Amino acid sequence: MDIKLIIGLGNPGDAYRNTLHNAGWMTVDKIAERYHAQWCIESRFSAMTTQIRIQDTIVNLMKPLTFMNLSGNSVGPFCSKKGILPNELIIINDDLAFTVGTIRIREAGSHNGHNGLRDIIRAIGTNQFPRIRVGIAAEKMAVHGDEYKDYVLHSLPPKQHETFLVGVELAADAAEWSVKNGVQAAMNRFNKKQSKPPKEDNNQ
């Protein structure tokens, strides 16, 4: 199946712009920037959307405007209206299980406590969709409850934030690679610990 929709999770508003929880938003912004795409607000989906062409594939980009915990209210109606199946979309979200500068791609799976993913699973009725998880942990750490909320809704000190942005760049690369070569190929290429993108393979 071709990837037809890439969704970056996050929260709208200047107060959240550079927070860790907005890793998904930052990633799709990066992709849109690469293709000189302009965002527009689609009120009926409570989302910002745009379209790009990656090779021969038309891909929708989306940033839900519902706030993180209600992301499904954007994703569900959009997929229903456009006829997009779960395995034709990619969700990009922050993940405290991985350190900054790293990502992990999965073809399917549980929400792992991420409320944005939880609501999307509710809205589309399945967890069988690909996702790219952007590491946000400054180091191996255990954060729970209010500590988790406080952590993800802040930005890191400058040096660590720079490393975090490397992960965002890497996630954008992985999303593009998934469209061009398939999610499994992207998993084989990107699912390893690294702090910089792999070199481009000229024969691809």
CATH of the domain at 171: 3.40.50.1470
Domain that holds residue 51: 5-190
Does 58 map to a domain?
yes
Residue of 21, 111, 144, 161 with catalytic role: 21
Does 200 map to a domain?
no
pLDDT higher than 60, residue 145 = no
Write out 30-98 in H/E/C secondary structure: HHHHHCCCCCEEEHHHCEEEEEEEECCEEEEEEEECCCHHHCHHHHHHHHHHHCCCHHHEEEEEEEEEE
DSSP 5: E
Does 11 map to a domain?
yes
pLDDT higher than 90, residue 152 = no
Express each pLDDT in 112-124 by its tens digit: 889 999 999 999 9
Does 41 map to a domain?
yes
Express each pLDDT in 123-135 by its tens digit: 999 999 999 999 9
Mean pLDDT of 53-57: 97
Catalytic (active site) residue 144: no
Q: Could you give the angle at the alpha carbon of 10 between the alpha carbons of 92 and 146, nearest 5°?
A: 110
